[in-house]
Amino acid sequence: MVKVGVAGYGVIGQRLADGVALQKDMELVGIADLAPTLSIKALREKGMPYDLYLVEGADKSKFDAAGIPYKGSFQDLIGKVDIMLDSSPGGVGAKNKELYAKAGVKAIFQGGEKNSVADVFFHGYANYEKGLGVNYLKLTSCNTTGLIRSVDCLDRKYGIDRVAITIIRRVADPGDYHRGLTNALQMDKAPSHQALDLMTIMPHIEATGILVHTPVTHGHIITVVAHAKKGKITKDMALEAFKTHNRIRVVTIDEGFLGNASFFRYARDLGNPRGDMYEIGLWEDSIVESGDNIMYAINIPQESVTIPETMDGIRASLKMQPDSATGTAETNKYLGLGKWKK
């Protein structure tokens, strides 16, 4: 049984912990954090299903005052695991890497860290094999993760050589107070980092993109214009490919999926913890042919979309499965991805 620890119990860390706990061939040894945040207090109120370890600088008296039990130090946790999932604030993961290296423990970092922190910039479908046995992996951002899922899906089936993307980006996660665009959209300089990141993961594809910040919180929407290497991808061909992918949920407007908030509400109605969805949504209505290009739109549930690919990273780094097909299939099985097709 592979032993896993999680550093940082915030927006992503909570979901990483839950994701590992669902994998029947992995054991979540514990989580580590600095302060008794609301997330940690909620964990206590749920009966402390995960063991808590305190990072350097944590004030133990505050945990004691809140009645929150802890098992030991961050170093204690590192010494008990095969791999750490680091979802610490940006820049902290790079410092933590020194502790992992000293202990001989592998690690996977989230999108907030610089690419230089890892040996491989990783995606479960597009370059799983490059992560086999590698000590340090870094996940792509939420937008890039979902974007690559859809582009890789078409690329595997038909071959893609060029994409152009437009990202309609949520400005902050639900509950965040540090950003406050009101009645305004904000442009980023082109090309967006997601387009550049896609080319890093999939260097055979030429990509460019534009990003627009929007004053919403429940998910990003990305439009993609893709061009095939040979021939033309029709709407029916694209739809056929998308419907076979267990991390892409094909929906229609007539079903009630009017936009990003529809997915969030549906996830809550399904009873998914925190209203999470691991899969991206893709509107069948948005798939259109434009000359030799195929265009479509996807919804990115930014808080949870990277969790499956992180589980894939564990499988690759520890050589649990030898290739993308078997590795992603195991992750999908334990997370219940694709179950809506039955």
- Residues taking part in catalysis: 142
- Please name which of 152, 158, 127 lies closest in space to residue 324, comparing C-alpha atoms: 127
Please provide the DSSP assignment of 186-246 as one string.
EEPPSSPHHHHHHHHH-TTSEEEEEEEEES--S-EEEEEEEEESSS---HHHHHHHHHT-T
Q: Please calculate the CA angle 317-275-214 and round it to the nearest 5 degrees.
A: 90
| DSSP H or E run through 31 | strand 26-33
Q: Which residues pair with 145 in a beta bridge?
A: none
Distance between CA atoms of 94 and 75, rounded to whole angstroms? 16
Task: End-to-end CA distance of the chain: give it in Å, rounded.
Answer: 30
Strands 186-187 and 206-214: antiparallel
- The reply, when asked if residue 33 is annotated as ligand binding, is yes
Cis peptide before 215 (omega within 30 of 0): no
Q: What is the largest CA-CA distance in the chain?
A: 66
Give me the residue label for tokens 């550093």: 7
Token pair 């010494």: residue: 79
Q: What is the dihedral of CA 336, 14, 115, 25, to 10 degrees?
A: -50
Helix/strand/coil percentages in the chain, nearest 5: 35, 25, 40
φ, ψ at 308 (rounded to 5°): -60, -45
**Reduced to 3 states, what is the DSSP secondary structure of residue 265?**
helix
Amino acid at 126: A
Question: Is 235 buried (19+), middle (13-18) or exposed (0-12) by CB count in 10 A?
Answer: middle
Judged by DSSP in three states, 317 sits in helix
Binding site for NAD(+), residues?
Answer: 33
Binding site, residues?
Answer: 33
